[in-house]
Amino acid sequence: MPFQVIPRELTFFGLFDRLADAVVLGVVDLTALVSDLPNRERYASRIRELEHTGDDLTHQIIGLVNTTFVTPFDRKDIHVLASTLDDVLDSSEALADLLVLLRIAEPLPQFVMQLDTLLRAVTSVALAVRDLRGMQGVVEACADVRRAEREGDWLFRHGVAELYAGDFGAMEVLMWKDLLSEAEAAIDKCEDIANTLESVVLKFA
């Protein structure tokens, strides 16, 4: 058996750190895109690159699961955590593409607030992922994710109400409903990640 310089357990944690960091960078670029719409293509391109990076990291994690006898935590949880982190990156890419393709001229205020909430959620997710090594601080970070998710629900409902009650054309309503729904789905995925992380911590308590 070849000598391993880096224990496989540490490799798992390093890959998860990099994947969580990519998720945060994707949302950072997404919020920057919305505040700098004339340069949307540049930000969207960077988000697509991050999404490809996320796919590669996810494949590396799954591949490592399949070739490692003893994993740092449950194999199913590793699969779920990796795939759900990647899902959030997928949502960032989808939102960036929609903002480019639909040629949004001015963002809906509730959508901007949704992205701010999403950024807080993924930042807390990244903190929780980094804390997995020692299983300390994970629960607190997950609580922050849940607070962000509740705020996201509120913003989604009020955003939809504004669309239906405001002076919007039918196509605008459909367009913004799609964007609000995709952002809401990304925030919900963050809560799914928090649930998985808390499950990991409870199993080792």
The domains of the chain are located at 8-204
Closest CA to 117 of 183, 38, 193: 183
Q: What are phi and psi of 41, to 5 degrees?
A: -60, -40
CATH fold for the domain made of 8-204:
Methane Monooxygenase Hydroxylase; Chain G, domain 1 (1.20.58)
Q: Are 16 and 126 in contact (CB under 8 A)?
A: no
3 CB neighbour count, 10 Å cutoff: 4
Q: Which of 116, 117, 129 is nearest to 61 (CA)?
A: 129
d(CA 94, CA 112): 16
pLDDT of res. 138 = 94
pLDDT tens profile 70-104: 888 889 999 999 999 999 999 999 999 999 999 98
| pLDDT confidence of residue 3 | 41
Residue 129 is predicted with a pLDDT of 96
Query: Residue ranges of the chain with pLDDT lower than 70?
Result: 1-9, 205
**pLDDT (0 to 100) of residue 9:** 65
Q: What's the pLDDT at 115?
A: 98
